[in-house]
Structure 1
Amino acid sequence: MTRKQRRLTMIGCSLAVLGLAAGLVLYSLRDSIVFFSTPSMVTEQHIAPGRRFRLGGLVQPGSLKRGDNLAVSFEVADGSAKLPVVYKGLLPDLFREGQGVVAEGALDASGVFKADTVLAKHDEKYMPKEVADALKKQGHWKDDYDNKPATGARVTQNAAPAGQGVTQ
């Protein structure tokens, strides 16, 4: 074999190994690429009890119940399906009924999602893109979701006009 043929053979083999490694990585991540599953997706995919995943949707109005020792239960809905959630711990300050939430945990044998982490939306304008897309797809999107003003915005000293005092 000539020197050029050896070099081309090495480059070809290296590219084949690199392609195989990239394919294996993408194949192993195929279930983890989605940021979260909606209640409809959970029922469609028949997720096995004990398997960890993220559940996203809207907290169903009237479903929040507080128990002893920081235990709470609520339902997460996406318009066509609901899934009961139980959580023990402090809820985020922005957690409310009727608003977007993402919870991390696993289903138990009875079909209840046992969350160990609950994430609430950032402000009045924020809704996770996947939740908004799922609501739009199912026809439950409200135009005022896009038009709500941001609340709780803080004005800092740097943003104040000269000569005006700003309290924080």
Structure 2
Amino acid sequence: MSSVKTTTGTAMADLTPRPPSGPEPITRRRSILIAGIVVVLIAIGGAIMTRSLRSAVDYYCTVDEIGHREGCELDRRLRVHGIVQPGIVHRGDKVIFDLALAGETVSVHYRGQLGGLFGECAPVVVHGQIDATTGVLQGDHLVINHSNEYVAEARGNSDQVCGDR
């Protein structure tokens, strides 16, 4: 530390500013970049959460409840339970079939993977949206109900709709 002599002869401390010795301060440009990255990460996380929760908010309806029960309107995504009726048609990557339950039927146009147990008289749940003009369920996900408990319960319904096998 150097000292400076005053006119009276006493020593005075050097008060000139020193360069900072710690980390460099964050510049405005860098802080905007960091904020932008955080916003993008939050947007990506929100999109992933929305996509993963989409199926969870689809209302579960049976074929006979469509248009009759609250939450089973034609203008929303639904999970529709029914029994696959005879007469399945395969057209390219689309499968066309009818679902029936309790005397009601809905036509399904499905695009996606079919499980090995899919077939006539199988109890299934189709995820999709019903076209209000045609009444056709445009399905994009299909679940085949095949647990032992459910088959015993559903067999009575399939016998009514599909007849004895």
**TM-score for both structures, normalised by structure 1:** 0.52
Supply the AA of the counterpart residue of 1:132.
Answer: A
| Structure 1 counterpart of 2:141, from 117, 127, 135 | 117
Counterpart for residue 78 of structure 2: 53
Greater C-alpha radius of gyration? 2
Residues in 2 aligned to 1:128 and 1:33: alpha-carbon distance in whole angstroms? 26
Q: Gaps spanning 5+ residues in structure 1: where?
A: 1-31, 145-168
Q: What SS does the corresponding residue of 2:98 show, helix, strand or coil?
A: strand
Would the aligned equivalents of 1:108 and 1:114 in 2 still touch at CA under 8 Å?
Answer: yes
Residues in 2 aligned to 1:35 and 1:112: alpha-carbon distance in whole angstroms? 17
Q: CA deviation at 1:99?
A: 1.2
Residues in 2 aligned to 1:49 and 1:33: alpha-carbon distance in whole angstroms? 15
**Residue 82 (str. 1) matches residue 105 (str. 2):** yes
**Residue 135 (str. 1) matches residue 130 (str. 2):** no
Q: What SS does the corresponding residue of 1:37 show, helix, strand or coil?
A: strand
Runs of 4+ aligned structure 1 residues displaced above 4 Å come to 32-35
Residues in 2 aligned to 1:133 and 1:54: alpha-carbon distance in whole angstroms? 20
Residues in 2 aligned to 1:33 and 1:140: alpha-carbon distance in whole angstroms? 31
**Residue 102 (str. 1) matches residue 132 (str. 2):** no
Would the aligned equivalents of 1:59 and 1:74 in 2 still touch at CA under 8 Å?
Answer: yes
Residues in 1 aligned to 2:78 and 2:154: alpha-carbon distance in whole angstroms? 19
Deviations 1:76-114 (A, max 9, x none): 000310000111122111111111000111111211111
Q: CA deviation at 1:36?
A: 2.3
Q: What SS does the corresponding residue of 1:135 show, helix, strand or coil?
A: helix
| Structure 1 counterpart of 2:60, from 36, 44, 64 | 36
With 39-48 and 83-92 compared, the bigger mean Cα shift is at 39-48
Residues in 2 aligned to 1:54 and 1:72: alpha-carbon distance in whole angstroms? 17
Supply the AA of the counterpart residue of 2:140.
Answer: D
Supply the AA of the counterpart residue of 1:103.
Answer: V
Deviations 1:97-153 (A, max 9, x none): 111000111111211111110111235x35379x739939xx949xx9xxxxxxxxx
Would the aligned equivalents of 1:53 and 1:104 in 2 still touch at CA under 8 Å?
Answer: yes
Q: What SS does the corresponding residue of 1:119 show, helix, strand or coil?
A: strand
Residues in 2 aligned to 1:92 and 1:74: alpha-carbon distance in whole angstroms? 15
Alignment root-mean-square deviation, CA: 3.7
Residues in 1 aligned to 2:78 and 2:151: alpha-carbon distance in whole angstroms? 16
**TM-score for both structures, normalised by structure 2:** 0.52
Supply the AA of the counterpart residue of 1:82.
Answer: T
In the alignment of these two chains, the number of paired residues is 107
Would the aligned equivalents of 1:103 and 1:115 in 2 still touch at CA under 8 Å?
Answer: yes
